[in-house]
Structure 1
Amino acid sequence: MQKNDPRREAALRIVETSRLLRNIVEQRLKPYGMTRAHLATLSRLDCQDGLAQHEVADALEVQPIAMVRLVDQLSAEGLVERRNDPADRRLNRLFITDAGRERLAGLESFKAEIGRALFEGIDEAALLQMLTTLNQLHTNIKTMQVAEAATTKLRKSGTSS
């Protein structure tokens, strides 16, 4: 009988856990009239107000067209506003409104409860080790993406063998 590769098992568990977490967060945000993408956008702007719309899309790893719809929704609710970039009128800069900050503040108990439930039974040392491991995985994946992008660029330019 062949022993399972722990790297493969870990990768599969990360994917499965991520899917489960996304689903539970989406489900629990519904009563607040929010989605994960709404929350992520407001949170990003709360930390870095005035980002260009494409910068928020890149940071959240969302397609630009999806970001447009997301910002349209948040703007319609008065949670975010678009402003023309003074140096480049083709760019929209995004700003969280006071109503957006209030909505985020109203989600603090939600975030605290998700955190408590999610990490129940995991002590701080294990959590810190997990963060170290996840940070290394993140770095490895980003390195892989850069290498793949470079390979694709070479292939498209016709300079590879």
Structure 2
Amino acid sequence: MLEQNFCQCLYFTATRLKKIAAKIAEDESRLLGMSPTYVYVLLGVKFKSGITQKELCEELHLKPSTITRLIDKLVINGFVERKAEGKLSHIYLTKKGEEIQEDIQKYRVKLHNRYKEILGKEEYELLIKITNDSARILESE
């Protein structure tokens, strides 16, 4: 009953969607042994070797303390390494980080296919477009 009163609220709807999408992503990432957030940090490092923590924060829309915690754990688990270059710390994949990339790619394909299966391909693509466009507009305010 309360949902009927809240469904016109962007905050409520976005939060609900986030929880549902996150649960699906977490279910799919169990085989990797890490949460989806770690997967996307590893992808960020793969796509831009030597990326700084600040750049990762901006690209992944996460707080610096969160990125630091995630990278610390990835360093401990041997997936990435930090190299200090002047005042900045650059992040690089290790051999282990490179080796898991094929499994990460399979995870991403499986995850996107699962969303498409549930929503339908056209609905999924439309949702992605509207969500990204809306986020850009709201961020610019």
Q: How many residues align?
A: 138
Q: TM-score, normalised by structure 1?
A: 0.71
| Mapped pair 1:130 → 2:119 | no
Higher Cα Rg, which structure:
1
Give the match for residue 97 of structure 1.
94
Q: TM-score, normalised by structure 2?
A: 0.80
Letter aligned with residue 60 of structure 2: L
- Could you list the runs of 5+ residues in structure 1 that have no partner in the other structure? 145-161
Give the match for residue 155 of structure 1.
none
Letter aligned with residue 79 of structure 1: F
Give the match for residue 53 of structure 1.
53
- Could you list the runs of 5+ residues in structure 2 that have no partner in the other structure? none
Q: Percent identity?
A: 18
Letter aligned with residue 129 of structure 2: T
Give the match for residue 70 of structure 2.
70
Alpha-carbon RMSD: 2.6
Give the 3 Å change call, closer, same or farther, for CA 44–84 of structure 1 in structure 2. same
SS at match of 1:100: helix
Letter aligned with residue 107 of structure 1: I
Q: How many Å separate the matches in 1 of 2:54 and 2:32?
A: 26
Q: How many Å separate the matches in 2 of 1:31 and 1:121?
A: 20
Give the 3 Å change call, closer, same or farther, for CA 13–113 of structure 1 in structure 2. same
- Give 1:52 shift: 1.1
